[in-house]
């Protein structure tokens, strides 16, 4: 078998493994709130999220093009494939570390950090303006928007239902959370599955298998199925952090947080084509909803630990990717 073909197969398998870890790492984003408010059982929520993730991944490839063609210049040859491989390893290792400790860090930023770290290790060109426009600015704005909209939307819900019977309203919001959970998973598929599609397509361009950056149908289907399988495998450690340790949400609060988060994810994927962190948006939407009670209702210590994980994700994944590139390059040459 040709060396390029073998390397390409390895990269595709590793990319789909990353997609799978992304699914179980970020599955909690879509379902933690619905499970914590008892709107859905964990397995029912995971099944719903897996199906909606699959549908979302099939809808658009705009984010895939941003990740695959807007972060680093397309590399070529054997060294180019080593860069892509190292980026994936960096992202997977960081995903597993944060999953083990139950920290909802960003798989998106882990992958982008891995790309940048591997490219720098190879002295390859990085599109710094693209990172600023498509990664750094959304990374800062998306959590702020999630917090602000979560706060405002929850105030609107409280005012609208201020005279409603509490028992009937809670039952209604539990049903509504089924729809908002599905919307969350749909947005997750439109965002996170796209990043793996972008990486695999980048590898295909690097290996000379395709000439232009157009995502093949088999890549779309493979990435969609991998993230759905990972989602169904579940992420119960992170589910506890998002659903209970930040704040104990009511059904109305859960519906508000999920509605805001899913709206932001779908909008950024379809209108702006930027790879935002589903974790960031979900967490800050929950915090915004919780702040409508009183600021002390939010467990800011847990939120602080999450923020630290956000800040270190890009450089940490980049460092692992750089080390992986050096080791791979030393072995392969």
The 3 state secondary structure assigned to the chain is: CCHHHHHHHHHHHHHHHHHHHHHHHHHHHHHHHHHHCCCCCHHHHHHHHHHHHHHHHHHCCHHHHHHHHHCECCCCHHHHHHHHHHHHHHHHHHHHHHHHCCCCCCHHHHHHHHHHHHHHHCCCCECHHHHHHHHHHHHHHHHHHHHHHHHHHHHHHHHHCCCCCHHHHHHHHHHHHHHHHHHHHHHHHHHHHHHHHHHHHHHHHHCCCCCCCCCCHHHHHHHHHHHHHHHHHCCHHHHHHHHHHCCCCCHHHHHHHHHHHHHHHHHHHHHHCCCCCHHHHHHHHHHHHHCCCCHHHCCHHHHHHHHHHHHHHHHHHHHHHHHHHHHHHHHHC
Q: What is the pLDDT of residues 93-141, one digit of tens each?
A: 887 887 777 776 777 888 999 999 999 999 999 999 989 998 889 888 8
Instruction: Name the nearest CA neighbour of 195 among 80, 103, 106.
Output: 106
The mean of the pLDDT values for the chain is 85
Asked whether 317 and 108 are in contact (CB, 8 A), the reply is no
Closest C-alpha to 192, from 11, 6, 29, 10: 29
146 vs 296, higher pLDDT: 146
Residues 213-248: tens digit of each pLDDT: 889 999 999 998 898 888 777 655 555 555 455 556
State the CB neighbour count (10 A cutoff) for residue 300. Answer: 13
Both tokens of 333, joined, read 């040459």
pTM, to two decimals: 0.84
The sign of the CA dihedral 202, 109, 280, 39 is: positive
Tell me the average pLDDT across 44-56: 84
Distance CA 210, CA 200 (A): 11
pLDDT digit string, tens, across residues 156-176: 999 999 889 988 998 899 889
Mean pLDDT along residues 88-92: 90
Q: How far is CA 168 from CA 163, 174, 198, in A?
A: 11, 10, 45
pLDDT reading at 155 higher than 90: yes
pLDDT at 251: 87
* Of 253, 256, 284, nearest in space to 37 by CA: 253
* Per-residue pLDDT band at 88 (split at 50, 70, 90): very high
Using alpha carbons, list the distances in angstroms from residue 201 to 48, 87, 207, 243, 264. Answer: 28, 14, 10, 35, 26
- Residue 155's alpha-carbon distances to 162, 244, 283, 294, in angstroms, are 10, 21, 18, 12
Dihedrals phi, psi of 260, to nearest 5 degrees: -65, -50
- Asked whether 131 and 90 are in contact (CB, 8 A), the reply is no
């Amino acid at each position: 078998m040709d060396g390029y073909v073998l390397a390409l197969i390895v990269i595709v398998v590793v990319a789909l493994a990353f997609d799978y870890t992304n699914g179980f790492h970020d599955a909690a984003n879509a379902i933690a709130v619905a499970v914590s408010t008892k709107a859905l059982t964990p397995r029912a929520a995971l099944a719903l999220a897996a199906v909606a993730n699959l549908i979302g991944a099939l809808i658009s490839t705009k984010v895939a093009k941003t990740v695959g063609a807007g972060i680093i210049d397309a590399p070529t040859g054997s060294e180019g494939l080593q860069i892509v491989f190292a980026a994936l390893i960096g992202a997977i290792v960081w995903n597993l570390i944060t999953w083990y400790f139950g920290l909802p860090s960003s798989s998106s930023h882990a992958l982008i950090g891995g790309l940048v770290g591997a490219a720098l290790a190879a002295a390859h060109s990085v599109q710094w303006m693209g990172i600023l426009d498509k990664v750094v600015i959304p990374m800062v704005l998306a959590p702020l928007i999630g917090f602000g909209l979560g706060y405002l939307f929850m105030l609107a819900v409280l005012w609208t239902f201020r005279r409603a019977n509490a028992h009937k309203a809670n039952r209604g919001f539990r049903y509504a959370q089924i729809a908002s959970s599905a919307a969350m998973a749909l947005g997750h598929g439109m965002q996170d599955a796209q990043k793996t599609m972008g990486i695999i397509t980048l590898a295909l361009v690097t290996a000379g298998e395709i000439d232009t950056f157009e995502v093949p149908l088999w890549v779309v289907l493979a990435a969609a199925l991998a993230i759905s399988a990972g989602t169904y495998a579940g992420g119960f450690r992170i589910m506890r952090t998002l659903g209970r340790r930040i704040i104990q949400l009511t059904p109305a609060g859960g519906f508000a947080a999920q509605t805001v988060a899913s709206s932001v994810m779908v909008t950024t994927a379809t209108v702006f084509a930027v790879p935002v962190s589903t974790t960031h948006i979900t967490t800050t939407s929950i915090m915004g909803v919780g702040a409508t009670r009183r600021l002390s209702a939010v467990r800011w210590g847990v939120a602080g630990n999450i923020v630290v994980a956000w800040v270190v994700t890009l450089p940490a994944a980049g460092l692992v990717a750089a080390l992986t590139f050096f080791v791979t390059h030393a072995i392969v040459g």
